[in-house]
Amino acid sequence: MLTLQTTGAARAAMPVLTQEQLRSVVSYAPETGAFTRLYATGSRGPAGPIAGSIRRNHCGKAYRCFKVFGHSYTAHRLAFVYMTGAAPDQVDHKNGNGLDNRWDNLRASTNSKNAKNQRLRKSNTSGQLGVSWHRKSQQWAIRINQNGKRISLGYCKNLADAIAIRKAAERDLGYDANHGQARPIYSGHPGADEVTYA
C-alpha cells in the first residue's frame, strides 16, 4: 500500500532521488502535470501514462502518488525534482487542488507559507478562518497566526466587522488571496468533478 509522506521526518527517511535518476525512468509534461513511465517495470508498471494512486492526507486532501525505484513519492514533489533537481521543504498547489500538478500551479513553500493558503474547514462556524464565537464575552473573537504565534485581533459583536478585521490583517501579513475559501476536494485528476467542499 502506498503511504503519503506528509512529515519532514518521513521525507528525510526517504532515499534522495536525483533529477538524473528520475529522468531516466519517467518524463513529465509541465503544461499538463502528467508523468509518463519510459519503460515497463513489471506487470504493475507498464510503459506509458502513470495513473499512480490517489492518497489522502490527514485533512482529506487528495494527492497523486506513484513508485519510483520501489519507493512511493507524491507527484508534486517529483515535479520539482524533475524541473529543478531538488524538492523544497513543501510544495503548495496554488489552486488548492492537490491533484493538479501542472508546473504553473506548483510553488515552493514552507510550513508558514502553506499556513497562509489554507482552505475553509467543514467545522468552521463563522465562514471565516480566524473568526470564532467566544461564549464568555458573547462576541466574535478574531485571531491570526504569524511566524508560528497566535495573535489576538480583538472581539466584535458584529460578524461582518470581525471578518473585515481578519481580512485586513491577512492582506497586511501577506496571506494568499485563496486563504480561507471553501475549495473543492477533488476525487480524481484535474478537471474531475468535485466531491465535497472542506
Residues 52 and 135 in one domain: no
Return the closest-CA partner of residue 118 out of 185, 69, 19.
185
Digit-coded pLDDT (tens) for 36-83: 989 877 666 677 877 678 888 776 778 999 888 889 999 999 999 999
Q: Is residue 195 part of a domain?
A: no
Residues 39 and 86 in one domain: yes
Residues 100 and 38 in one domain: yes
Structural domain containing residue 168: 131-172
Residues 110 and 135 in one domain: no
Residues 90 and 42 in one domain: yes
Digit-coded pLDDT (tens) for 148-170: 889 999 999 999 999 999 999 99
Kindly report the length of the chain. 198
Cell numbers linked to 175 = 496571506
Q: Is residue 43 part of a domain?
A: yes
Question: Higher pLDDT residue, 146 or 164?
Answer: 164
Do residues 33 and 103 lie in contact, with contact meaning Cβ atoms separated by under 8 Å?
Answer: yes
Tell me how many domains the chain contains.
2
Q: Is residue 26 part of a domain?
A: yes
0.75 cut: is pTM over it? no
Residues 32 and 109 in one domain: yes
Do residues 65 and 75 lie in contact, with contact meaning Cβ atoms separated by under 8 Å?
Answer: yes
Residues 28 and 88 in one domain: yes
